[in-house]
Structures are given as C-alpha cells and as structure tokens.
Structure 1
Amino acid sequence: MLVAVLVPTAVICIAVAAAPLWTDGDDPSAAAAASAASGPVKDSTDSAPASSPRSPAGASTEPKVRAKPRTKTKPSSGSSSGPGGHPVIPPSGPGTFTVARAGASDTGKGNAYRVEVEDGTGVDPDKAAAQIAGFLAAPRGWAHGGEHTFHQVAKGTAGLVVRIATAATTDRICGKSGLDTHGEVNCRVGVDVMVNLKRWQTGSPEFDGPLADYRALIINHEVGHWLGHGHETCPGKGRPAPAMMQQIYGLKGCVANAWPYDTKGHYLSGPSVS
C-alpha cells in the first residue's frame, strides 16, 4: 500500500493464480482470506474478482501498521478550505461512490480499471480520474516501455478499481479483510485500491515534494501491490526511495520518490521487506 504515500468497462482477460494472502506487517501464512469488499456505486456494476497475472486477489495495506504516521497536513489546491487554509476532509461518508466517466471508453487495450470517488468528499471524480490516468501512463510509471497498459472504463466489470474514500469507509472496506488502516493509510484488497481521502488531500509529512507527486506515489505503490510487487526499503543514503517503500514511516536516508523507474528507464529497487 503506500504510504503513506495515491484508485473502468472492459474486462481484463487474465489468469488468477492461487497464492497466500499477505498483509503489510504480517506473516503471509497468517493473513486472512481477502474479500473484494465494495460499497454501493452509482451507475456501475460490481467489480469482478479478477487480478493481474502476477498478483492473485488478496490484500495489502500501505504502509505497515506498526505505528501511526504523523498527521501534519499540506494544503490541497482546488479544494474547499477550512481554518488555516487546509482542505475540509470529512472523516466519514455515506459509503456510496460515483464513477468517473470523463476519459472512459468501452473499447481499449490493456488492464481495464475504473475510478470511483465516495460521495460527499469534495473530490471531483473526473478530475481525479484524469490525474490517475496520467500516473498510470507515465513513462516512469508501471507503463514503462509498454510493460503494462491501462484502460479506463466506466461500466461493467473491471479487474482494478481505484476508490478514493473517507477514512471511515476505507477502514471499513479494508477491515473486512482483516486490515487495520487506523484512519490514516491506504490499502489494496483484491481488485480494490482504497485511497484514504486524507492522504489524497494532504499528502504525507515524510514526502518532500508537490502533492501531485505524492498522489502518484499512492497510485504507483498500491497498483504495484496489485501487479505483484512486495515492499522494498531504502537501498542507500541519498538514493531515491523505491516506490514500493513505505515512505510514510520515514525515508531511512533515501530521497523521496514517487516513481518505479528513473529517467533512464532503470527500476528503482531496494532490499525486499518481508
């Protein structure tokens, strides 16, 4: 999941391999079976329990739940503001979602995904979807060199669903698979990437960069789990933190980074974290 640091109508034709569910911070063999839990969605059918060839339907939180991250916030441009200029972030919502339609198409190639935003969050679904599409298609993202392609849809089934939701709704959906997101972090449960509204709107106190970059990190980290990648840690002082690192808990000498690849096309890896 990251971290702390950022989510469809064609069907993905992919094979689902049987493998144990693993949860951030837990022994894979001790994790409970995942449930693709979803709340009601406007103008949309339920997601099919599909996953990528590298990642069976399962769950992973982002980041680990050993301790709660600090909660210092950053202002979010383009959102309603409360005292001090910080965005107004409702702690809970109705549990219903609106599907993003702008940019979606019934035809296309690659992994079909859908973007949904919980009602009452103040986040525009179409604007969020446009940003997410940019992250998924970026040369430094998982689309690197055509390795993965993504296709946004708005109706029917999708193998990946990115859902921006309040902390309470995120906790509820993630919690159905035994994951404790304690009102602060994101998770990936089966086909659902659950993005905590608080993280989407305020970023992370550990991430030194624009909010848009932190949102890219959220998406890259959680979609990375969906693609089968596990957690990694800092490879060395002064080097870029891997996108699969739980950067919300500290950089351990690395430099904040949102992308799986560098500008030369090299994967930014680090030692694996079990």
Structure 2
Amino acid sequence: MGKRAARNGARRGRDHTRPRGRGRRPARRHPRALLLVGGLLGLSLICGAAFAEWHDGDDTQQPGYAAETPLGDREPLPADPSLSKSSKDEKQKDEKKGKGGSGRAPGDVPASGPGTFTPAGASGAPVGTGGPLRRYKVLVEDGVDVSPRQAATEIEAILAHPRSWAAHGRGRFQLVSGDDRADVTIKIATPATTDKLCAVNGDTHGELNCEVQDGVVVNLKRWVLGSPQYDGPPAEYRHLIINHEIGHMIGFHQHMACPGPGKPAPVMQQQIKGLDGCKSNAWPYTKGGAFVEGPSVP
C-alpha cells in the first residue's frame, strides 16, 4: 500500500507541474453550429437591406394623393375623411362584417333604395371669402354603403378647396347637422331615387345628378364609381359633381361648352356627356386663380 501511494503521489506531482494545454486533445469544432451562425448573420443582413428599401419607398407615398391620378396638372386630393375618429369607427364596424353595412360588397351600387334618408350628424365652421352664407346639410339614402358623416366631411373639404367657389368670393358655405335649419340639402341617392327626385327637371336616366329647388341630388353611382369619361379617380370626380351642382345654385344656370382642344373643361360643362377635345377638370379655377369657362350652351 505504501509503494502504490507513493506512485500515485508522484503522478499527481507530475500532473500539477505539467504546463497547461500541453498534451491536451484539441477542442472539437462544430461545423453545424458555425454554418447556423453564418446563415443567421447573412439572413439578418438581407432582411435589413430589404427593410431599408421598403421604408424608403413607403416615404414617397404621401397621404391625401390618389394613386390613380397621373402626374402633371392633377390636383392633390384632400386627406381621406375616413381618418376622422367617428368615420374610423364606422369603417371598422363594416370591416368586421366583412362587407359594407348593408351586406353588399364594397363598391357595389344598388339600383334602387327605400327613398328614405339619414342625415349626417356633423357640422363645421363657415368657409369662403365673400357672398351670402349658405348653410347646407348632407343626407344619404338608407341601405347604401356610404357613411353620411364621411360624405359630409368630404363635401365640406370639396367646398373649402383653394380652387373651389368659396375661395374665390362666390359664396360662403357652412356644414350643419341634419337637425339644424339649412338653406341647401345635398342628398346622395340610388339611381332610381335620383330619377324620381330629379324628374321635375328632366330624365336623369339613372346616370346623372341634378339641382332641385331645395338643393342638390347626387347619384350614388356617380359618387362611388365616378364617370367613364372623366380622366381621374372617383374621389376627384366628386369635386366635379359638387362644384357643378353648386355652380348652378350660385348663378351659373346654363351649361358651358369646351373652350378649345386640349384646354381644361369648365366645371359647368356636362363632362359626363363628353369632353369634346377638352381635358377633364374638377375645379372652377386654375391653380393661378383664373376662372375656367367656355361658351354658354342654350
């Protein structure tokens, strides 16, 4: 036992004095782990570059501009009125249903409706630089996929546009809620209801809008889909609808014709019936403040 203990002690002594690392088995490398780390690093670099490219592209899209609008003399549209809190809530309710409020797919325009209307519970401050104040309210026919509040907000923005009537001394306008007294009533109605309300002025054939004694009737089909003859998105065409009908109301009783090939069409031209060589235009005035007019049509 004594000799064995001595030998063991000698071994332990040699182990303690052996330089560290000498004679040890080299550490094992793990090729799979190295490949995995390299792959993750490469993937992160690729994702980072893709994110930077996407972010730069997204910054070029400014809210309030219609993607379908070509470059040139096109006017930037006002910010989407659906960004207001109340309209957002209504939009979210429709999205939860998967369709519009009436169960139809968005963009589907019914040919007829009940003939009853819901007023917009919205009001605003007067806009305009001169002329008499006209208080107006907005109503939308029941059972259609257009929010009365959103429509009223959009019409308010149209009348306040810097190229519209109010900005050039042709009148002042104020949105009032449906329960308040109004000088003008703007109704958005299905094609069949529009025909009935406009019949006193002639047949609108389920296609046109009209001015009536107590206000304006906007054909839902035109409000939602725009016009095949108009070179612009429906949101821009709505400017033409409101500016044309309000134009009748403030004194432009006769329609106008195209002033010449390549020139902007007057808003008082019935552009839905053809442009006659003019360029489609939704505003009464140019960017420079000139009134866009043409020969009167009897």
CA distance in 2, matches of 1:232, 1:164: 24
The aligned residue for residue 273 of structure 1 is: 297
CA distance in 1, matches of 2:201, 2:293: 28
Q: Unpaired segments of 5 or more residues in structure 1?
A: 1-78
Residue 197, structure 1, aligned to residue 220, structure 2? yes
Cα gap change, 1:218/1:267 in structure 2, threshold over 3 Å: closer, same or farther?
same
CA distance in 2, matches of 1:240, 1:151: 28
Whether contact under 8 Å (1:144, 1:265) holds in the other structure is no
Shift of residue 212, structure 1, vs aligned partner: 1.2
The aligned residue for residue 87 of structure 1 is: 107
2:165 to 124, 138, 142: 142
CA distance in 2, matches of 1:87, 1:148: 33
The aligned residue for residue 234 of structure 1 is: 258
Shift of residue 158, structure 1, vs aligned partner: 1.4
Q: Deviations along 1:10-56, whole A, 9 cap, x unmatched?
A: xxxxxxxxxxxxxxxxxxxxxxxxxxxxxxxxxxxxxxxxxxxxxxx
The aligned residue for residue 182 of structure 2 is: 158
Please identify runs of 4+ aligned residues in structure 1 that moved more than 3 A: 103-106
1:38-49 maps to which residues of 2 (within 5 A)?
none
2:192 to 168, 177, 183: 168
User: What's the TM-score once normalised by structure 2's chain length?
Assistant: 0.61
CA distance in 2, matches of 1:240, 1:80: 36
Aligned length: 191
The aligned residue for residue 10 of structure 1 is: none
1:129 to 152, 164, 174: 152
Cα gap change, 1:159/1:103 in structure 2, threshold over 3 Å: closer, same or farther?
closer
The aligned residue for residue 244 of structure 1 is: 268
Shift of residue 174, structure 1, vs aligned partner: 1.1
Whether contact under 8 Å (2:106, 2:145) holds in the other structure is no
3-state DSSP of counterpart to 1:268: coil
1:101 to 104, 115, 121: 121
**RMSD (Å), alpha carbons:** 2.2
Amino acid at match of 2:120: A
CA distance in 2, matches of 1:245, 1:156: 33
Shift of residue 139, structure 1, vs aligned partner: 1.3
Q: Deviations along 1:128-156, whole A, 9 cap, x unmatched?
A: 11110011111111112343110111223
Amino acid at match of 1:217: L
CA distance in 2, matches of 1:112, 1:97: 19
Whether contact under 8 Å (1:170, 1:183) holds in the other structure is yes
Percent of aligned pairs with the same amino acid? 52
CA distance in 2, matches of 1:123, 1:86: 9
Q: Which has the higher contact order (CA 8 A, sep 6+)?
A: 1
CA distance in 2, matches of 1:222, 1:98: 21
CA distance in 2, matches of 1:105, 1:249: 35
3-state DSSP of counterpart to 1:195: strand
CA distance in 2, matches of 1:272, 1:219: 20
Cα gap change, 1:121/1:251 in structure 2, threshold over 3 Å: closer, same or farther?
same
CA distance in 1, matches of 2:142, 2:124: 19
Which is helix-richer, 1 or 2?
2
Whether contact under 8 Å (1:217, 1:258) holds in the other structure is yes
Q: Unpaired segments of 5 or more residues in structure 2?
A: 1-98
Whether contact under 8 Å (2:170, 2:250) holds in the other structure is no
Amino acid at match of 1:273: V
Instruction: Name the larger-Rg structure.
Output: 2
